[in-house]
Structures are given as C-alpha cells and as structure tokens.
C-alpha cells in the first residue's frame, strides 16, 4: 500500500510539474526578452514584453533607513534604453522563483545590474504577468536596489548540491544526527530498502536513534551521481549509485529550495539485484 501511495505521489508530482513547465518556460522567455532588449538597446523588444497598462516601481531605503517607493515612467525608461549603446546595460538574473495560477504569473528573481561591465547596483525584481490573447505580458515590475553585498558571479549550483548530498551521507557515517536530519525538510520522506520503510523525517529520527548513538550510523559512499535542475532553479532531483554494507545500491532524491536553503524532500534507497539472479532473489524473499 505504501509503495502504491509513493508511486501516486511521484506520478502526481511529475505530472503537475510537467503541466506547468511549458508555462514556466514561456514566462521566463518573456522576462529574458526584456533584458535581452535592454542589452541590445532595442526598446521595441522591451515594449513588446509589456502590457499597455504596465506599472514600474522601485523601492529602497534612504540615508536614514526609511523605506521609499518611486513610480517609474515607462516612456522615459524605454527612451533611456534606445539612447544607450548596445552592450552598455546588462542586468544579470541569478535565479527564478515562479508561481502560476490560471492567467496570472508572479516571478521573483535576484539580480545585479551592470553599466559598461561595471557593477551599478543589485536587488530583487518582482514581476507580475498576465496571459492575454497575445500571450504572457508584464503588467508590473517592482524592484529593490542596494549597492552593498551584490553578487557578481553565478553560483555553481551543481557543486553546491553535490556537496550537500555528500555531507548528508557523511553525517550518517559520522553519526552526526543534527547534521543528517537538519539536511532534510520537516516533511521530508525517507524510503528504506524494506517494503515497510516509509519514514517521515522525525519518524526516521526516532527509529534510527540507536544507530546514531554508535560511532557510525551507516556508511554510504557515492560511486556516481546525476543531478537535474528545474528551469526555475528551485527544485532538483538526483539519482546515484552507492557503495554500502548491503553491496551496490541505487537511490533517488528530490531537493527543494526553502527559506532555510536547500532541503531534502524525498529519498528512496534500493538494493540492486542482477537481472540473471532475479528468480533466485524472488525465491529467497518468499521463504
């Protein structure tokens, strides 16, 4: 029953994600065309991403630390783009957080803004888009602006996630309970090799308490691993081959970016059985 529920959960996750992935890519495409138009000093491209009722707003803290908000002038903004030299204005987006419901999309993206390759400022853009008969159009942009603590180079997310997973396995090998369970989301699920093993994080913590009182709870070492990222950079999934006390195992996992950083939402561990030995295996487990 639990394996059936797991299958339905994963099926629902990927079907739901697939239904939204095309729309997400369309929304990202609109935002990227906006900034490509800025880089090319082509205000007509930028204008075409806007809804006729576009509203531009900027918020910042003044010298006394008081919050301020400024209403932008769309025509003045477009004029500044057309008057610039191609390659002068370059806004780099570091990631996307996208929410879509019917004909409305919300996009949150950290950015750094460069003028002639020199950092000007950074902050966060928030876009509101409406899907009209013409497709997705930007109806509002609000951005924050600051000069300190700006990112200037893209993070190596693959390396970051590889390190997270390696450290998670290392925490089990060193019986570091806080590090191991701290890497999992509160609602994270761990599927073990036994057919009965479907644990929520805190259930697993209770079950594995004795193991984590030893010098090593268990030791899994990755032989190889493949990590895939969702287009918005907020969800990742991986599969890996592991060297374990049970022999070579395979596992899959899902990571999600949360307010507390990247957390493991789902992990499933499987013992591998060579195809030519599957009949012997079936006979063994049926004893």
| pLDDT value for 83 | 96
Q: Determine what percent of the chain falls in helix, strand and coil, rounding each to the nearest 5.
A: 35, 40, 25
* pLDDT, mean of residues 79-85: 96
Residue 265 has pLDDT above 60, yes or no: yes
Q: What is the pLDDT of residues 211-229, one digit of tens each?
A: 999 999 999 999 999 999 8
Domains and CATH numbers, the chain: 15-144 (3.10.450.50), 155-286 (3.10.450.50)
Nearest to 205 by CA among 224, 186, 228, 227: 186
| pLDDT value for 10 | 46
Determine the Cα–Cα distance for residues 179 and 147; give it in Å rounded to an integer.
Answer: 34
| pLDDT value for 141 | 98
* pLDDT, mean of residues 157-174: 94
| pLDDT value for 136 | 97
Q: Are 59 and 68 in contact (CB under 8 A)?
A: yes
171 or 10: which leads in pLDDT: 171
The DSSP symbol for 37 reads H
| pLDDT value for 158 | 87
Model confidence band, residue 41 (pLDDT cutoffs 50, 70, 90): very high
Q: Are 255 and 266 in contact (CB under 8 A)?
A: no
**146 alpha-carbon distance from chain centroid:** 24
Q: Which distant-in-sequence residues (6+ apart) come within 8 Å of 75 by Cβ?
A: none
Q: Are 115 and 89 in contact (CB under 8 A)?
A: yes
- Indicate left, alpha or beta for 102 from its phi (over 0: left) and psi (-120 to 50: alpha): left
The DSSP symbol for 85 reads P
Q: Are 161 and 227 in contact (CB under 8 A)?
A: yes
Q: What is the pLDDT of residues 2-35, one digit of tens each?
A: 445 444 444 454 444 444 568 888 999 999 999 9
DSSP state letters, 125-164: EEEEEEEETTEEEEEEEEEE-BSSS---S---HHHHHHHH
User: Is the alpha carbon torsion for 62, 123, 186, 176 positive or negative?
Assistant: negative
């Amino acid at each position: 029953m639990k394996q059936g529920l797991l299958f339905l959960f994963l099926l629902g996750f990927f079907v739901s994600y697939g239904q939204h992935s095309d729309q997400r890519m369309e929304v990202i495409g609109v935002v990227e065309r906006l900034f490509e138009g800025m880089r090319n000093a082509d205000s007509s491209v930028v204008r075409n991403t806007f809804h006729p009722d576009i509203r531009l707003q900027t918020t910042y803290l003044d010298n006394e630390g008081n919050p301020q908000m400024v209403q932008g002038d769309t025509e003045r903004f477009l004029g500044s783009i057309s008057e610039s030299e191609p390659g002068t204005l370059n806004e780099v987006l570091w990631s996307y957080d996208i929410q879509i419901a019917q004909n409305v999309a919300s996009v949150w993206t950290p950015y750094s803004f460069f003028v002639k390759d020199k950092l000007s400022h950074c902050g966060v853009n928030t876009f509101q888009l409406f899907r009209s008969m013409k497709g997705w159009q930007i109806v509002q942009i609000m951005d924050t602006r600051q000069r300190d603590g700006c990112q200037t180079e893209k993070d190596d997310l693959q390396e970051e996630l590889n390190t997270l997973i390696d450290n998670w396995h290392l925490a089990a090998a060193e019986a570091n309970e806080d590090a191991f369970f701290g890497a999992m989301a509160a609602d994270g699920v761990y599927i073990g090799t036994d057919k009965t093993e479907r644990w929520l994080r805190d259930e697993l913590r209770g079950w594995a308490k004795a193991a984590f009182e030893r010098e090593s709870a268990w030791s899994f070492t990755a032989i190889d691993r493949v990590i895939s990222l969702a287009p918005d950079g907020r969800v990742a999934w991986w599969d890996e081959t592991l060297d374990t006390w049970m022999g070579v195992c395979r596992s899959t996992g899902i990571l999600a970016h949360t307010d507390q950083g990247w957390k493991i939402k789902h992990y499933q561990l499987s013992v591998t059985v060579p195809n030519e030995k599957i009949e012997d295996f079936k006979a063994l487990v049926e004893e």
